[in-house]
Amino acid sequence: MSTKPERVVLIGVAGDSGCGKSTFLRRLTDLFGEELITVICLDDYHSLDRKQRKQTGITALDPRANNFDLMYEQVKALKEGNSIEKPIYNHETGEIDPPETIHPNHIIVIEGLHPLYDERVRSLLDFSVYLDISDEVKVAWKVQRDMAERGHTLQDVMQAIAARKPDFQAYIDPQKAYADTVIQVLPTNLVADDKDRKVLRVRLMQRQGVEGFKHAYLFDEGSTIRWTPCGTKLSCPIRHSVLLRPRCVLWQCGDHPGGGW
């Protein structure tokens, strides 16, 4: 950027590996443009490279494999409108590459495994999102990504998923208690055998009392709609008549361990 923004809005997007965080944010960057939004992957703050993690038995989900002091210092600097020299974690080699210069932008998004883990980093955020992907969908997505984009074998991917699960439950999943919004992605109830997870069910839970954040509704209170999907596709397995009664909400709220939902 050639000019310093008057204000930097900081957003955190958390979730497990292979949950679609990077893909989702690439689409947002394409939509709004790099002159408005900058996305930082927090994998760049790994303090242990792939070889060191293998030697020590510490996964990337473990806080010990990440430099939260540097993460906090650099995120704070960006929010204050200052440039940083951010390290780069190379997913192909598993090594830490030389740093790159990151300038402040109108919107900075930090995405990764731990944007809500460290209280200091969390206190800097203006808004936070947690992607809560069910195990069935997560496995399908991670297998597809790691085999196609990172050259891993199916056996490697499945072993990694099993090895990382305890750390996910200990360090990643609890972060949704701090999120302003939780997006759940679940298997569909409409298709009996959807092994590729091409049809999904999505639920959005929104924390109450977040300043400047209105809850999302599909219809106003009192609305009624009748819907018969796929009426012209006789081979489609989804053929149900649906009646939405008054006060239908696009994103359903539910119980949440963080409270205040």
* pLDDT tens-digit map of 151-209: 778 787 788 778 889 999 999 999 999 999 999 988 877 766 766 666 788 888 898 88
**Burial (0-12, 13-18, 19+ Cβ within 10 Å), 75:** buried
CATH number of 9-128: 3.40.50.300
Residues 6+ apart with CB under 8 A from 95: 49, 50, 51, 89
Query: How many whole angstroms separate alpha carbon 149 and alpha carbon 169?
Result: 26
Region 61-86 average pLDDT: 97
pLDDT band at 210 (very low <50, low <70, confident <90, very high): confident
Look at residue 257 in the predicted model and tell me its pLDDT.
38
Residue spans per domain, the chain: 9-128
3-class DSSP state of 182: strand
> Long-range contact list for 48-54, CB < 8 A, 24+ apart?
49/89, 49/94, 49/95, 49/96, 50/93, 50/94, 50/95, 51/94, 51/95
